[in-house]
Amino acid sequence: MLFFINLPLLRVAAGRYEQCYRTMQKFSLYIKSNKFYWSANKIIYSAIFICCGILLFKQKILNIESNIFDKIFGWIIICFFISGLVTKFKGFYQIEPIHGKLEGYLILEKEAIIVGDEIYPIEKIRTIKISNDDYSGAFKNISKGNLGPALSNGTNNFIVIYLVSGESKRYQFELINSDDFQKVRETLIDYNIIGKIDYWELAQVLGERSTSETLALTDEIEKRRTTANSGLLRQSASPRVAQ
């Protein structure tokens, strides 16, 4: 028996798949680097600590009386304090650098969760947990002691996949906008319907925090559950075609 491949039809199908892949919501995976890097905090605080250490060593250990070098180190410390204040002010308008790399994508589909080259079929997943509170440009690093950029780079987000086998996989990803998970809202609701994500976890991920928002989410889940059940009933009731 001969099989004929319709090449034009195959190209059209491949083109449609590529277009669908490009338009679907994807989250870049973040791989943190273990390399040491210099930051404003490390440079300024280290310099001040070293200068203060030298002055204390000179006075307490060597018992050398105050001289011109004390004044020089004092001015150096003052200069570093001033540079720290200037750096902190400039940091309010800067996004922190990404110390690592963005490689691969996290894709949430109804039938599977794709993480880079790994595909986790939904039936192999017991449950998932998502932390998506961080996004690019969020005011995160605004503590008094921080001298670096105040705006987050949006990579402090995590997904943990608990598999039926007992294993768990944890991945970190980048979020560009705070509401990007709304684009996969229906998929996440489907996960909740089949028991893959807890209701309150779902509400947290979608940003539904007020009473009215959670009630609206509950209604949305029930409507989608009813629609899904109706579709299954229609499929089971439809006559089978004899082979």
pLDDT at 89: 79
pLDDT at 19: 43
Mean pLDDT (10-residue bins), the chain, 243 residues: 47 46 80 84 85 82 77 85 82 86 96 96 97 92 77 95 97 96 96 96 95 96 86 56 43
pLDDT at 236: 56
Phi, psi of 213 (to 5 degrees): -70, -40
Q: What pTM does this model have?
A: 0.75
Report the alpha-carbon distance of residue 74 to residue 51 in Å, rounded.
Answer: 8
Q: What is the largest CA-CA distance in the chain?
A: 104
Report the alpha-carbon distance of residue 33 to residue 27 in Å, rounded.
Answer: 19
Contact (Cβ atoms closer than 8 angstroms) between residue 12 and residue 86: no
Phi, psi of 160 (to 5 degrees): -115, 125
User: Is the Cα torsion angle 155, 156, 159, 160 positive or negative in sign?
Assistant: positive
Three-state SS at 81: helix
Instruction: State in Å, rounded, how far the first CA of the chain is from the last one.
Output: 19
Minimal CA–CA distance to 104: which of 183, 162, 35, 171? 171
Residues paired with residue 130 on neighbouring β-strands, in sequence order: 159
pLDDT at 93: 82
